[in-house]
Structure 1
């Protein structure tokens, strides 16, 4: 994705207005209902300015979603895998139970499977996992996880129960749920890393 940006001044204000308008419209209309024309009207900028800066509607949506995620879901670095995972899962649970986070999560889940939407969804999740995967990557370097660990898989296992409850079962996210998920995940990772004999059993 080639998103051209100009630092500072009016350019920064325009970008902020467009990103805010895009996220507002995503909440109101979902992925498929959003149009660049309406974003331009809401942000009070020329539609051509948006295309000049972002190139495509999909690039604009990805940039807006990632900007929101970066603000709401910073990647923690406490020096401890368990603490990092709990902090990230807690922030995600808080975000998903907010009106904006809840609506965006459901919009992403319910979006169609046309090529443009699939590409948008893939780009969004690839970028999100590249960011959050730093938690597992740092843990591997510290020796807390085996070198064969797949960072994205670790984060998928962490966030999946939260998204499952928000999108499918609509169950509440209890305050201790992030900690319970993390402890169960870490027990599984430790068990998976234990040596096995030729029959696949632990000695």
Structure 2
């Protein structure tokens, strides 16, 4: 990215620097993985001073977390349709699209293969805790509307929703067919006992 491109980005210098640094971080994560990413290389590619990055983010891990969460917020908005089923299908469909894109696929594998040293573990925990906090709003709103029973754990709902998609991308590497999000959601809602959910494969006793 050239100096001219950085200067032309809208939103003021701070926003331009943030966008350039995030773009460089995302590219390097895809190319090199989590362990090999260096702030000096981010700075070089974003054409900013390394001290600027440390002054704003403090640590390499903070930068990576912020970049990953910013990308997720853009690619995975949390729907609010007034219907839990529609919200979950919309979110799962966006996630499936993201995970099958080159960037999303690479980042998912990067997070899955990251080590367990304290800094990496903190990075991973903070990333997923923040993601679940945002996306869990779908289940929390459904509890308030009476679509889900009181006491339902929103985080568990989201884990059950996204786990099959990540499993196929990272482990089995099966294709994500277009009907998969709806199939996952309907099976999930049937198991959670929502009043209006379909009952796939359930036999009366």
Is TM-score (shorter-chain normalized) higher than 0.5?
Answer: yes
Q: What SS does structure 1 have at the residue aligned with 2:35?
A: helix
- Asked if 1:79 corresponds to 2:82, the answer is yes
Unpaired segments of 5 or more residues in structure 2?
1-10, 195-205
Q: CA deviation at 1:146?
A: 1.2
Residue deviations 1:140-185 (CA, integer Å, cap 9, x gap): 1111011200000000000000000000000001110000000000
Q: How far has the Cα of 1:14 moved from its partner?
A: 0.5
- Name which of 37, 42, 49 aligns with 2:40: 37
User: What are the equivalent positions in structure 2 for 1:1-203 lying under 5 Å apart?
Assistant: 8-190=11-193
Deviations 1:21-68 (A, max 9, x none): 001101011111101000000000000000000011000000000000
SS at match of 1:45: coil
May I ask how many residue pairs the two structures share in their alignment?
184
Task: Measure the CA separation in 1 of the matches of 2:162 and 2:60.
Answer: 27
Q: Displacement, 1:74?
A: 0.2
**Helix, strand or coil: the match of 1:40?**
helix
User: What CA distance in whole angstroms lies between the structure 2 residues aligned with 1:91 and 1:12?
Assistant: 26
- In structure 1, the residue corresponding to 2:69 is in which secondary structure? helix
| Dislocated runs of 4+, deviation >6 Å | none
Unaligned 5+ residue runs, structure 1?
1-7, 192-203
TM-score by length of 2: 0.89
